[in-house]
Amino acid sequence: MSRIEAVASNPVASRVFQPVTRDWERASALLRILGESVLIVGLMLLLSRWLNPADPFGIHAQYPWIWLGPTILAMRYGTIDGALAAALLLGAWLLPAPYGMTGGPVEPEFPQEYFLGGLVMALIAGQFADVWNNRLSRIKAANAYLDERLVSLTRTHYLIRLSHQRLEQELLVRPVMLSDLLTELRPNTPVDAGRLAKADILLRMLASSCEIESGAIYAMTDGQMETHPTAFVGEELPLELNDPLIEMALDSGRFMHVRATDASLYRSQYLVAGPVRASSGEIIGVMVVRSMPFFALNDENLQFIVVLLGYYADGVMRSQAIRTIQLLRPSVPPDFALELVRMKRLYDQAGIDSSLVAMTFGRGGNGQAIFDLVRRVRRTTDIAWELETPSRHVLLLLLPMSGQAAVDGMLQRIESTVRQNFNQTFAEAAIVVHTTGMTPAEPEWVLDDVLNRCGVNQQIVLSTGRA
């Protein structure tokens, strides 16, 4: 590499020498134009003197052909170059004999109109060139900008196309969302089974949604991991109990994968390993993944696995999961309490918020009719608990994976329905609404706070316990 190329390749040197480079290029262009002007005018003068030595300037000719040189230069480069060429012709006229172009020893009278007309013709041609050169420069600048925009848009379109292809692949391999998976898993989870019942359904859901090609779930019996899988997908292979990834997962109590910092130092034949843990802390099984696509081994898929396994584990260990809630509020329906525990765990593990909405209705007037209407129009995905107090009807709704925006939308829809049927707003119908989201507090205290705000204390025995 030459020294010039080395300087040009250095970004700091490029910024320093860029003004100098531009000045040098401008000076080179001016020298080139000056040399071209002298050369063309000189050739025109020599040719004219050779053709007509007595009248090389063509003063007495029908047309002064020698002025084609300045005119052509003016049309090519502009007014200044045309004036320069005219000055060169004037200088050739003023040269003394025998170097001058007068053609004889007697100096003729200076042809003012001849040079004035030639100069005007050159200036007009130069002005024409200046106007169109400026227009051409603007057009070139606009085209350069459009070309740059086109390249940028082409690159952006290409990236968007790649992104859409990736999204299509994601939708093909994961056709359902987390809410759909949990809704599908809820009826397929045996309640209080105490073991990994229907684990094959859970594993098939994980395989389809998280692209697991080969994996298995092993039960834990008396703190020992069984070697025969309770459920598996792909090829059934013998379990390696001494695998470092499994040992690290059991010791830490959390999911481990080969890309984790702690596990990357060890050689394991598995990609993912983690416990199936209930909210009570009891480990009822271990899941291992032996094969899955490289791009599927990401935090989102691992979070899916953790959430679904925790949701399943709380179902098969329901009595332990809801024990603290039932100790504080014995009248809570088990299904409502279980879903509350699951949503609190989903909030802790994945940061997905859920909402608890309590609505109280008066007993007088249209209170009972409005209460029955709201019970019918609630969303099918929500978990409801109906209570009765001596003075009011109470309806608790648990909205899984629904934030404040979903709560506001639901309340607006219900109020619109009430207004259409009874021509009353919530305030006119004496409907009081209390809402809360998941908080770092335990789920039993979140539920107890909402019930206390509704005036439902632990001594009231009119609770229907219906869910």
Quick check: 64 pLDDT over 90? no
**For 129, phi and psi rounded to 5 degrees?**
-65, -40
List Cβ neighbours of 53 (8 Å cut-off, separation of 6 or more). Answer: 103
Region of 148 on the Ramachandran plot (φ > 0 left; ψ -120 to 50 alpha; else beta): alpha
How would residue 77 be classed by pLDDT, with cut points 50, 70 and 90? confident
Cα–Cα distance, 340 to 322 (Å, whole number): 9
pLDDT at 277: 87
Cα–Cα distance, 385 to 332 (Å, whole number): 8
Mean pLDDT computed over 146-161: 91
Among the ranges given (177-186, 210-219, 312-321, 373-382), the one the predictor scored with the smallest mean pLDDT: 177-186
pLDDT at 424: 87
pLDDT at 330: 87
Quick check: 152 pLDDT over 60? yes
Among the ranges given (2-6, 39-43, 140-144, 166-170), the one the predictor scored with the smallest mean pLDDT: 2-6
Cα–Cα distance, 129 to 462 (Å, whole number): 99
Quick check: 172 pLDDT over 60? no
pLDDT at 148: 92
pLDDT at 69: 79
Average pLDDT, the chain: 80
pLDDT at 175: 44
Cα–Cα distance, 115 to 86 (Å, whole number): 8
pLDDT at 106: 46
CB atoms within 10 A of CB 327: 9
Quick check: 436 pLDDT over 50? yes
Cα–Cα distance, 427 to 22 (Å, whole number): 76
Among the ranges given (60-69, 378-387, 436-445), the one the predictor scored with the smallest mean pLDDT: 60-69
**pLDDT tens, residue by residue, 80-128:** 887 888 888 877 777 765 545 554 444 567 787 888 888 888 888 888 8
User: What are the beta bridge partners of residue 362?
Assistant: 392
Quick check: 464 pLDDT over 50? no
Quick check: 150 pLDDT over 90? yes
How would residue 75 be classed by pLDDT, with cut points 50, 70 and 90? confident
**Number of residues that this document lists for the chain:** 467
Mean pLDDT computed over 401-422: 89
Mean pLDDT computed over 403-417: 89
Q: In the block, which residue shows the tokens 């350069």?
A: 144
Among the ranges given (44-48, 262-266, 398-402), the one the predictor scored with the smallest mean pLDDT: 262-266
**pLDDT tens, residue by residue, 262-301:** 655 567 888 888 898 888 888 888 999 988 887 777 777 8
With a pLDDT cut of 70, the percent of the chain lying above it is: 85
**Segment of 13-22, 322-331, 373-382 carrying the highest mean pLDDT:** 322-331
pLDDT at 95: 72
- CA 105 to chain CA centroid, Å, is 87
Quick check: 34 pLDDT over 70? yes
322, 338 Cβ separation under 8 angstroms: yes
Cα–Cα distance, 188 to 204 (Å, whole number): 12
pLDDT at 425: 87
pLDDT at 12: 44
pLDDT at 139: 92
